A = this chain, B = another copy of it.
Amino acid sequence: MKPLSECRVAVIGLGLMGASLCMDLKRRNLCREVRGVTRNFSTILRAFHEDAVDLATTDLSSGVAGADVVILSTPVRAVVTMLETLGPILWPGTVVMDMGSTKAEICAAMDRLPPRVQPIGGHPMTGKETAGYAAAESGLYEGAPWVLTPLPRTTTETVSLASELATSIGAFPITMEAVRHDRLVAAISHLPYLLASGLVHTVKDSGANDAAVWDLAAGGFRDTSRVAASDTQMFLDILMTNRDAVLAQMDTMSGHLQELRMLLADSDEESLRTKLSCSQTTRAAWKPKQGVLASQAK
């Protein structure tokens, strides 16, 4: 298999994730050609103008024709649908990757691709609460974990190429099974999103009685609620394709909240101290993997 430097790479979807990837690949001259495929013609003009692509098109067929690597960068369920469309038109030997936030349904759809193409799931663990091409930036992937979920049919060469791509833009690849990935991100990504949404609703209820709550809201609220501003369609797709794992995490969380509520209602201060100390110690000891803090403190 060719090294990344000799590959034509087609990125489908020029939102935050796809366009940031194009910018890194193009501006750092990491591959032979960077193509962007988007439904939005004004995005094409902007991507050309900002040196994010070598070629860009609204036409999927011409976008993927002759590409060595095709990277799907749309919301999860659009990836699943797109894989059905792509199956018949991909050239033999094409590596098909994606950047979706849940992996089991995507990898199942990838497994239905014709045998002549090489699929591998992927999920770079970075992002921002702002979406779309306008939010894209070089260096978004610097220091981020990039989960790769190979299928049984995925060759080691394909895993190597995907790892090379992730590494080339500063991410560090972690390989695991799709179902395991989905279970883990339910806890550290999908649950926090739902908590943030619930918190915003709660403060909104409070604000309906006394709007001054919005003036007092400071760093704690800002950080705890940040991900609630994420793209709704993206998260709907995530939740609907990872429902059972998310529900399980919500139930575990509810148990902890009920316990905290009970301890506080009972003024059981020593038990409350023990429980809060445990989360204090755990959170204070946790460090994001290399560079995640640097790349995402924006």
Copies of this protein chain in the complex: 2
A183 sits at the interface (CB 8 A):
yes
Per-residue contact bits, chain A 178-196, to B (CB 8 Å; 1 contact, 0 not): 0011011101110111111
Question: Measured between alpha carbons, how far is A185 from B264 in the docked complex, in Å?
Answer: 17
A140 to chain B, nearest CB (A): 11
Q: Residue A125 contacts which of B206, B216, B240, B246 (CB distance < 8 angstroms)?
A: B216
A210 sits at the interface (CB 8 A):
yes
Per-residue contact bits, chain A 192-227, to B (CB 8 Å; 1 contact, 0 not): 111111111111111000101111111111111111
Per-residue contact bits, chain A 265-298, to B (CB 8 Å; 1 contact, 0 not): 1010100110111111011101011001100110
Q: Could you tell me if A221 and B247 are in contact, using CB atoms closer than 8 angstroms?
A: no
Q: Could you tell me if B215 and A187 are in contact, using CB atoms closer than 8 angstroms?
A: no
Q: Could you tell me if A236 and B197 are in contact, using CB atoms closer than 8 angstroms?
A: no
A153 sits at the interface (CB 8 A):
no
Question: Measured between alpha carbons, how far is A275 from B213 in the docked complex, in Å?
Answer: 21
Q: Residue A219 contacts which of B185, B225, B292 (CB distance < 8 angstroms)?
A: B292
Residues on the B chain within 8 Å of A267, using CB: 240, 243
Given contacts A204-B282, A232-B276, 7 further A-B contacts (CB under 8 A): A195-B257, A197-B260, A218-B288, A224-B224, A226-B283, A232-B273, A254-B261
The 5 closest A-B pairs by CB, nearest first: A219-B296, A192-B224, A200-B279, A198-B256, A197-B279
